[in-house]
Homo-oligomer: A and B are copies of this chain.
Amino acid sequence: MSTPYTLLESRFARIADLDHARGILHWDMETMMPDGAAPHRGEAMATLGVIRHEILTDPALGEAVAAAEADPDRAGVDGAPLDAWQRANLVEIGRVRRHATAVPADLVAAQTRAAAKCQHAWRDARARSDFEGLRPLLEEVLRLTREEAAAKAEALDLSPYDALLDQYEPGGRSARIDTLFEDLAAFLPDTIEAAIARQAAEPEPVALPGPFPVDVQERLGRELIGIVGFDRHHGRLDVSTHPFCGGADGDVRITTRYDEADFTSALMGMLHETGHALYEQGRPEPWLRQPVGAARGMTLHESQSLLIEMQAGRSRPFLRYLAPRAAAAFGGTGPAWTADNLYRLATRVARGFIRVDADEVTYPAHVILRYRLERAMLAGDLALADLPAAWDERMRELLGITPPDQARGCLQDIHWPSGAIGYFPTYTLGALAAAQLFAAAREAIGDLDDRLAAGDFGPLVAWLRRHVHARASATSTDRILEDATGAPLGTAVYKQHIRARYLDA
């Protein structure tokens, strides 16, 4: 017998199917699509988004949510009470729906168009380092994002910034981020200075002698992501300009890009995306097509990629495993190919301009800078005309360097041109969570280092499955972290990790 709750499940299964299509079409766009197909693809993606939005905002759906919420003890099949997962699903459905109904359809459509135009122009603007040329389009995107934030703030009873943040990190609040980031901002400058000084006092690591043929890189990469646990029966590895983890339920697709001069860049990138993929592939099968079955949010998502790449992938034990295999694959011999040298290359600290190239010590500085600027932009405290100067000033404050041009400054990321405000902080929240989770896993798995040195990710991934992946969205990020690590998200373990790896050892 159909009940309000079962109606919700069937509507959200339909949304899952639309998202399946959107996920594969997006992957295709980045990896396969011929250039001339962009306009048609844009239309198709927009229409799937509109249909999705129509389903979410259908008043009948709202009535079913209200009816199920009013009587959860009889909302199940044949009047049975909802179980814990069904209740959690109902909570998530309410959340997803509140986000969707907060924004009128014509604003969504206007945002899609403005973001598409601005993202397209951004590629040229970045190539020419021309922020002023991009500014009119970016103003429009920002204006619409502020409209969206205001509408969601009203509907969700949050501040405008938190209303946007909540899309990427459900339950995330800027007051908490402020505290964490202030702590990090105080920790970082001296730590960066000390780490660089310490590395400068040691002999330089030996550069790995390339070139490294792409087919060998790919073969080694596939072997490694398989060892880590990527399920190639439910996923693929391909090439794209900007590496990502996407695809669909049961079909998780990661990408990389190969640099013939440096095989570690693609390899570490593959480990990173594999961390994301393990999360997607580890969600509970029966709930994959429902909101409660989704990954919890971007903080935990990024924690999984950083745990596999930064915590495990760049650890001494794993690099002891990797070194002889990489040497054999590329036919390398000599001092460049020792585990110790690979480790020193993989943990090199440097003040740079580009976020995506940053090491794990300087990375939070890039994020804190963006977080503070985007909050000011959204609040109307920073005019776009003043963004380049503000960017450079903060860069000097946090990292002590000045970008030589806007391409390596405020034009480097696609996030703002695409209307994504509230996303950046999750990178660093994820780094904090990764450190905390890895420390807890090491505590739980007595011989974790030996396992990694033997290329055995089994116990680590099983631990992540149980403590993170399998919980999907059945509870909050905080609860997942507390249950797994005994503490809420904080900076302490991350700082210990940075000290241990870069200052003490």
Interface residues of A (CB under 8 A from B): 13-14, 16-18, 20-21, 24-25, 28, 32-37, 39-41, 43-44, 46-48, 51, 231-236, 248-251, 288-289
Contacts and interface: CB of A to CB of B under 8 A. Distances in A.
Contacts of A33: 251
4 A-B pairs with least C-beta separation: A17-B47, A37-B251, A36-B233, A40-B250
A125 to B, nearest CB: 24
**Chain A interface, DSSP helix/strand/loop, else mixed:** helix
Given A20-B40, A28-B24, A34 B235 contact: yes
A47 B28 contact: no
A116 B197 CA distance: 64
A43 B20 CA distance: 9
A37 B24 CA distance: 12
Given A21-B21, A21-B25, A24-B24, A40 B249 contact: yes
Given A13-B43, A44-B248, A51-B51, 9 more contacts: A17-B46, A25-B25, A32-B236, A34-B235, A36-B234, A36-B250, A37-B234, A40-B288, A43-B289
A312 to B, nearest CB: 25
Contacts of A51: 14, 51
A63 B380 CA distance: 50
Contact of A44 (B21, B41, B233): B21
Contact of A24 (B14, B25, B47): B25
A39 B251 CA distance: 10
Nearest to A19: B44
Contacts of A40: 20, 248-251, 288
Chain B CB within 10 Å, residue with most, of A14, A32, A233: A32
Nearest to A14: B47
Contacts of A250: 36-37, 39-41
Copies in the complex: 2
A18 B32 CA distance: 19
A442 B38 CA distance: 37
Contacts of A36: 231, 233-234, 250-251
Nearest to A231: B36
A21 B48 contact: yes
B34 A234 contact: yes
A44 B28 contact: no
B44 A20 contact: yes
A288 B40 CA distance: 10
A273 to B, nearest CB: 15
B248 A34 contact: no
B48 A251 contact: no
B48 A17 contact: yes
Contacts of A16: 43
Nearest to A234: B36
